[in-house]
Structure 1
């Protein structure tokens, strides 16, 4: 999940760099298309907008899924912590009520015999 999110972030970054270079004139759109036709240049820009929309939507969806996954992992970790705390509390209660000491004494006597 993390690798896919990172790959999508790199793709978005590359798209933004390419678009900025194209709009700034550093890259010639006629050289990309090998033509001087105005309709093909317009189609290129329409395609860039469509691809940009899809890539940005995919990035938003992936980010949402990634955040939901992190929240789920956090929830599971909190459940595990609560279970460990409950087990520790039960052991302390057993120790305080001396049942722990009695159980240990019985086990120790069984080992000696």
Structure 2
């Protein structure tokens, strides 16, 4: 998921750089897109705006999915930690009860002698 998020970030950044270069006339839209009339240029900019909006929407959705996957991984890690704590507590209780029963049986053996 992290690779997908990184890829979407790179694509959006490259698209933004392309648009900036196109708007500052460092790239010529007439030669790149073979647009000669004003209507074609207007349609080109509308299409580029729509593509940009779509890319930003995809980037937003991928970001949300990435955050949800991180939260799920954190939840799974917390559940595992709780299971390990419970196991440790049970082992301590078993050790204490074994130590107590051994010391009690030794005291009883000493007392009966």
Determine if the TM-score, normalized by the shorter chain, exceeds 0.5. Answer: yes
Q: Which residue of 1 aligns with 2:60?
A: 60
Q: Which residue of 2 aligns with 1:39?
A: 39
Q: Which residue of 1 aligns with 2:107?
A: none
1:16-37 CA deviation, whole Å, 9 max, x = no partner?
0000001111011111122421
Could you tell me how far apart the structure 2 residues matched to 1:101 and 1:83 are?
27
RMSD: 1.6
Q: Which residue of 2 aligns with 1:6?
A: 6
TM-score for the superposition, normalised by structure 2? 0.84
TM-score for the superposition, normalised by structure 1? 0.84
Return closer, same or farther for 1:5/1:101 CA change in 2, 3 Å cut-off. Answer: farther
Larger Rg: 2
> Which runs of no fewer than 5 residues in structure 1 stay unpaired?
103-113
> Which runs of no fewer than 5 residues in structure 2 stay unpaired?
103-113
Return closer, same or farther for 1:44/1:94 CA change in 2, 3 Å cut-off. Answer: same
Q: Which residue of 1 aligns with 2:24?
A: 24
* Counterpart check, 1:69 vs 2:75: no
